[in-house]
């Protein structure tokens, strides 16, 4: 841009150079997109993990059963490597020949909820790689009267089917006179996996990069519903994350892995028919009072519900008339309107649902107007498990409500909310 005040032709040349530079820069990065989803499965309530929904390509597309057993996934990217000079035998530094170093250690990245920004930790490692190696006709390179597989063995010590330590073979190979297809698995110890040329190789080319990866995903039961996004970048080249030595030149300088985790939680509560109308009665009903004159000391009702939950949730109590830590009911009959009664409402949750400290939830008091309503979390996906709402009137109010010769009709409204927005 130093020429912008000079002649117009210099300005035009500067702009052209800038455009070419931008085009070249955009070609220097390879990007892949990896997606995973959590959606609770009622048939597998204990399986609380993400499912990788990325369409596979490369090795795992060909051998899905092998990858499934090892919880491994693979993708193929159009990343090529070209030799910048001939490979001549007798070198001691493996990076002067055909060598491979991959980022095999677990690496950590952060994915963020696209709405709330909530962070979660994800880990990834490269667990395998492969390509198709191109070279001149190997029969001509070794110049001996041997079969085709023997020619590859003579040129590289062993064929590309056999992985040099610390890499491990996969059983995948295929060869012609001028190519060899292979896929190797990595170990977490890492290190260069190298083939040493025994004859002169004028040029060498890797046609693409297959890479397999493993994931350690966060606990979906501790995540909010929605999509989480994040990325990690691997550098490519000599002394980089993906290092093919000093001879093989990559077509791109970085490989970007972009992650998107989709969390689709379930929170559903089913109340049995008629369960929205709660009648508080003495233990055993009203017969002892009506027939024997025995005054009840408790008026209560346990109302069951079925809950399905795979995420954190809170419970909120709302009252038409707020009482002391509960909801009030009033006597609709004449002469008793001022004598309200207080109903306590408690909750018991099924096994698998606990408070945030991990303790079981048994007869926990729900309080109206609570600015910090109680929160709960699943230890595993709970599917249509029974819980109980306990309604009970304090004995002091029962004493006032139940009097010989005086009728009463007490009514009130309480609303219990199960809220997944925590």
Q: Of 263, 280, 297, which residue is a domain's last?
A: 263
Looking at residue 296, its pLDDT comes to 79
**Helix, strand, or coil here: 96?**
helix
What would the mean pLDDT of 269-297 be, rounded to a whole number? Answer: 81
Is residue 315 located within the same domain as residue 178?
no
Specify whether the CB–CB gap between 101 and 192 falls below 8 A: yes
- The pLDDT mean for the chain works out to 88
Looking at residue 394, its pLDDT comes to 85
Is residue 318 located within the same domain as residue 231?
no
Q: What is the pLDDT of residues 358-375, one digit of tens each?
A: 999 999 999 998 889 999
Closest CA relative to residue 248, chosen from 126, 39, 94, 72? 94
pLDDT-derived band at 325, boundaries 50, 70, 90: confident
Q: Of 232, 263, 294, which residue is a domain's last?
A: 263
Q: What is the CATH number of the domain that holds 308?
A: 2.60.40
Is residue 65 located within the same domain as residue 214?
yes
Closest CA relative to residue 41, chosen from 308, 261, 260? 308
| Separation between Cα atoms, residue 110 and residue 406, nearest integer Å | 67
Residue 118 placed within a domain? yes
| Dihedral Cα 267, 273, 279, 281, nearest 10 deg | -100
Q: What is the pLDDT of residues 293-305, one digit of tens each?
A: 677 778 999 999 9
| Separation between Cα atoms, residue 244 and residue 98, nearest integer Å | 7
Q: Of 220, 248, 263, which residue is a domain's last?
A: 263
Is residue 388 located within the same domain as residue 283?
yes
Stronger pLDDT, 406 or 53, i.e. the higher one = 53
Looking at residue 367, its pLDDT comes to 95
Within 13 A of 75's CA, how many CA atoms are on the CB side?
Answer: 20
Is residue 244 located within the same domain as residue 321?
no
Is residue 73 located within the same domain as residue 198?
yes
pLDDT-derived band at 139, boundaries 50, 70, 90: very high
Looking at residue 20, its pLDDT comes to 28
Is residue 289 located within the same domain as residue 240?
no
| Separation between Cα atoms, residue 379 and residue 389, nearest integer Å | 21
Which of left, alpha, beta for 405 (phi over 0: left; psi -120 to 50: alpha)? left
pLDDT-derived band at 250, boundaries 50, 70, 90: very high
Q: What is the pLDDT of residues 160-190, one digit of tens each?
A: 999 999 999 998 889 999 999 999 999 998 8
What would the mean pLDDT of 104-114 be, rounded to a whole number? Answer: 97
Domain count, the chain: 2
Is residue 125 located within the same domain as residue 224?
yes
**Helix, strand, or coil here: 398?**
helix
Looking at residue 282, its pLDDT comes to 87
Looking at residue 336, its pLDDT comes to 52
Of all helices (H) and strands (E), which one includes residue 23?
Answer: helix 8-26
Residue 10 placed within a domain? no
Instruction: Flag whether pLDDT at 11 surpasses 60.
Output: no
Closest CA relative to residue 336, chosen from 273, 285, 405? 405
Is residue 381 located within the same domain as residue 244?
no
Instruction: Flag whether pLDDT at 10 surpasses 50.
Output: no
Asked which of 273-287, 324-338, 381-395 is least confident by mean pLDDT, the reply is 324-338
Is residue 117 located within the same domain as residue 204?
yes
Q: Which residues on adjacent β-strands are paired with residue 113? A: 228
Instruction: Flag whether pLDDT at 124 surpasses 90.
Output: yes
pTM of the model: 0.81
Q: Which residues on adjacent β-strands are paired with residue 112? A: 119, 229
Give the range of the structural domain holding residue 308, as residue numbers without chain letter. Answer: 267-419
């Amino acid at each position: 841009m130093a020429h912008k005040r000079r002649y117009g032709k210099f300005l035009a040349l500067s702009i052209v150079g800038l455009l070419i530079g931008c085009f070249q820069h955009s070609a220097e990065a390879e990007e892949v997109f990896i997606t995973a989803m959590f959606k609770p499965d009622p048939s597998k309530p204990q399986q609380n993990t993400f499912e990788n929904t990325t369409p596979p390509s490369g090795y795992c597309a060909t051998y899905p059963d092998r990858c499934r057993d090892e919880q491994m996934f693979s993708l193929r990217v159009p990343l090529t490597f070209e030799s910048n000079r001939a490979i001549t035998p007798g070198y001691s530094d493996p990076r002067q020949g055909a060598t491979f170093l991959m980022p095999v250690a677990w690496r950590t990245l952060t994915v963020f909820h696209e709405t709330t920004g909530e962070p979660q930790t994800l880990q990834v490692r490269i667990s395998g790689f492969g390509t198709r190696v191109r070279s001149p006709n190997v029969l001509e390179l070794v110049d001996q009267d041997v079969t085709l597989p023997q020619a590859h063995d003579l040129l590289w010590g062993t064929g590309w089917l056999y992985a040099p330590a610390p890499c491990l073979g996969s059983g995948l190979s295929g060869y012609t006179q001028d190519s060899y297809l292979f896929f190797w698995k990595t170990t977490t110890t890492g290190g260069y996996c190298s083939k040493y040329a025994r004859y002169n190789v004028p040029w060498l080319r890797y046609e693409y990069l297959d890479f397999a990866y493993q994931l350690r995903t966060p606990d979906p039961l501790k995540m909010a519903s929605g999509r989480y996004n994040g990325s990690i970048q691997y550098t490519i080249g000599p002394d980089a994350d993906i290092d093919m030595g000093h001879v093989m030149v990559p077509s791109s300088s970085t490989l970007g892995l972009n992650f998107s985790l989709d969390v689709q939680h379930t929170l559903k509560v089913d109340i049995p028919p008629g369960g929205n109308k709660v009648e508080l009665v003495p233990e055993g009903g009203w017969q002892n009072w009506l027939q024997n004159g025995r005054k009840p000391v408790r008026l209560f009702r346990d109302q069951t519900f079925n809950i399905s939950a795979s995420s954190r949730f809170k419970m909120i109590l709302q009252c038409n008339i707020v009482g002391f830590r509960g909801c009030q009911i009033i006597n609709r009959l004449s002469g008793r309107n001022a004598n309200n009664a207080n109903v306590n409402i408690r909750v018991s949750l099924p096994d698998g649902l606990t408070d945030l400290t991990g303790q079981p939830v048994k007869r926990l008091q729900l309080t109206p107007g609570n600015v910090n309503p109680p929160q709960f979390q699943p230890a595993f996906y709970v599917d249509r498990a029974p819980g109980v709402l306990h309604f009970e009137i304090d004995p002091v109010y029962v004493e006032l409500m139940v009097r010989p010769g005086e009728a009463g009709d007490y009514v009130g409204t309480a609303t219990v909310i199960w809220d997944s927005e925590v």
